[in-house]
Amino acid sequence: MRSKVARTSIEATFVRAEESSRPDRLFDDPFAPLFVAAAEQDRTEAEDEAAATWKKILAFNVVIRTRFFDEYLLAATEAGCRQVVLVGAGLDTRAFRLDWPSGIRLFELDLGDTLGFKNEILEKAGAQPRCARTTLVTDLREDGWPTRLTEAGYDTALPTAWLVEGVLGYLTSEEAARLLGTIGELSAASSRISFEHANLSSGSAFLAEAKAVPALAEIAAMAKGGLGEKTLPWLGDNGWDAVLHDRADLAVSYGRQAMGRSNGGLITAVRR
């Protein structure tokens, strides 16, 4: 888990482990504590009030998006999507912890250090997936991953539920459009996609404030903004009917108090 991107997966896993320990948890990831214990990375306490506040905001975002994406995936599979593709799967263990309908084929795409670490810990724990699970070491900025996905058994004729959880904000506008365009080409009618939508452009006040906090500067510097404000129009122009779900409203619906700088929401879209 040496790359900067892989380390962000560990940070999210800390959050899922803490949430899973709460009596009023919004989800349960029983494997998150195993990853936390095995990671050669300490989570230092926030050094000042600003850092502590920002870490609470980012943790809030991870918790709300995890609950939302869990519900999205189960609803999509109940609606007829028999394939699931987790693009940038990270260390979340949805293949193992969600109650999938029978006959689901799930593909996890991520970098080698993330998937290698994840599979090693899960194998040691004797974890068994609740669906047919395939992992593919993938750099999404390279061209060959769609071919490798189909060679692994992905069927372009079947409706698919795609989850691009925390990836797009780390891509440029051109890279994000290319990735989403490729997903569209691989998606049959009635396929679905969901991902996080936030203003992380170079002029974003949210991002500028995050970069000013030393504890967050390294991760914040990785943000490239994705499609930003062009996301919803781009989806509409490229064969998707999209809806933006406000993160603060979702938090209230889950019985949690919204935090003032949650910055954006979560998009779901259906392929026409």
- Which CATH class name applies to 4-271? alpha beta
Question: For a pLDDT cut of 90, what percent of the chain falls above it?
Answer: 68
Which of 35-39, 189-193, 203-207, 266-270 has the lowest average pLDDT? 203-207
Reference 223, options 3, 51, 4, 38; nearest CA is 4
- Domain-wise residue ranges, the chain: 4-271
At 80, is the pLDDT very low, low, confident or very high (cuts 50, 70, 90)? very high
For 144-155, write each residue's pLDDT tens digit: 999 999 999 999
Judged by average pLDDT, the poorest of 15-24, 130-139, 180-189, 251-260 is 251-260
d(C-alpha 118, C-alpha 97), whole Å: 14
Task: Show contacts of 212-220: CB within 8 Å, 24+ apart.
Answer: 212/50, 213/50, 213/51, 213/54, 214/47, 214/51, 215/44, 215/46, 215/47, 215/51, 215/54, 215/55, 216/51, 216/54, 216/55, 216/58, 218/4, 219/4, 219/8, 219/11
CA 158, CA 151: separation in Å to the nearest integer?
Answer: 15
- Contact at 8 Å (CB) between 170 and 139? no
Cα dihedral 151, 156, 159, 162 sign: positive
Looking at residue 229, the DSSP 8-state letter turns out to be: G
Tens digits of residue pLDDT in 98-122: 999 999 999 999 999 999 999 999 9
